[in-house]
């Protein structure tokens, strides 16, 4: 993975975390135990400190950055969907930030919240635990249900398992010229979109 020190400060990656080789880590970036950083994600700690907590995931093409002297933090079991941007904000424990959402400076998202895909959370926005945020600018829609938290937690557990799977089995390979007749599928049980589980 491209890792760069700046001003004598070097990123930290816990040995139990997985960071994809195309992700970029710069300066004051800290990746905690069991965390997952996906392809082309960027943790650009050249101004503020960036913290990806234990068991958290930062998926493909996500960006973490912040102004000088700030912390941008995803707390334990945080789940950051593809393409999201986090800038100088704090994401609470076991919270889900949906795909392509943007969370701005000084925003604090409480624990066990869900930020909808494509939501825009304005600077200095604060919300309590179990808030469902939607829209641009984001607003409180309602409280998150037990069913939604259970679904989110299962998804995050699969990303924690993915970290372990990647550390154990992900290797560079050459593509095959044709699909094998008996091509296997990747098996991940008991994970499906929330809309399917609701029937």
CA angle 81, 83, 86 (to 5 degrees): 80
Helix and strand counts by DSSP (H, E) for the chain: 2, 20
Q: What is the CA radius of gyration of the chain?
A: 17
pLDDT for residue 1 = 73
Tokens of 121: 């959370």
Nearest residue to 112 (alpha-carbon basis) of 151, 154, 144, 147: 144
Contact 31, 48 (CB under 8 A): no
pLDDT for residue 105 = 98
pLDDT for residue 198 = 63
Kindly report the number of other CB atoms within 10 A of residue 151's CB atom. Answer: 19
Kindly report the number of other CB atoms within 10 A of residue 59's CB atom. Answer: 20
CA distance 132 to 128: 10
Tokens of 191: 């994970």
pLDDT for residue 135 = 97
CA distance 158 to 152: 10
pLDDT for residue 197 = 65
pLDDT by residue for the chain (199 residues), tens only, comes to 799 999 999 999 999 999 999 999 999 999 999 999 999 999 999 999 999 999 999 999 999 999 999 999 999 999 999 999 999 999 999 999 999 999 999 999 999 999 999 999 999 999 999 999 999 999 999 999 999 999 999 999 999 999 999 999 999 999 999 999 999 988 877 766 666 666 5
Contact 68, 51 (CB under 8 A): no
Tokens of 34: 């069991």
pTM of structure: 0.94
CA distance 152 to 43: 23
Tokens of 105: 């400076």
pLDDT for residue 188 = 77
CA distance 98 to 113: 11
Beta strands in 24-124 (DSSP E): 24-31, 36-37, 42-52, 57-58, 63-65, 71-74, 79-80, 85-87, 90-91, 96-97, 102-103, 108-109, 114-115, 120-121
């Amino acid at each position: 993975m491209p890792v760069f020190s700046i001003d004598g400060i070097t990123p930290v990656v816990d040995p139990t975390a997985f960071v994809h080789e195309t992700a970029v880590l710069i300066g004051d970036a800290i990746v905690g135990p069991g965390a997952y950083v996906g392809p082309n994600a960027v943790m650009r700690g050249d101004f503020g400190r960036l913290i990806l907590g234990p068991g958290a995931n930062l998926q493909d093409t996500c960006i973490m950055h912040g102004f000088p002297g700030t912390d941008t933090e995803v707390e334990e079991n945080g789940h950051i969907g593809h393409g999201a941007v986090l800038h100088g904000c704090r994401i609470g424990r076991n919270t889900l930030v949906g795909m392509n959402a943007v969370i701005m400076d000084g925003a604090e998202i409480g624990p066990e919240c869900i930020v909808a895909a494509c939501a825009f959370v304005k600077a200095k926005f604060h919300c309590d635990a179990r808030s469902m945020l939607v829209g641009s600018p984001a607003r409180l829609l309602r409280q998150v249900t037990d069913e939604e938290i259970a679904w989110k937690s299962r998804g995050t557990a699969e990303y924690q398992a993915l970290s372990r799977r990647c550390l154990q089995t992900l290797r560079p390979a050459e593509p095959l010229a044709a699909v094998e007749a008996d091509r296997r599928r990747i098996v991940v049980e008991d994970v499906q979109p929330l809309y399917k589980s609701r029937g």
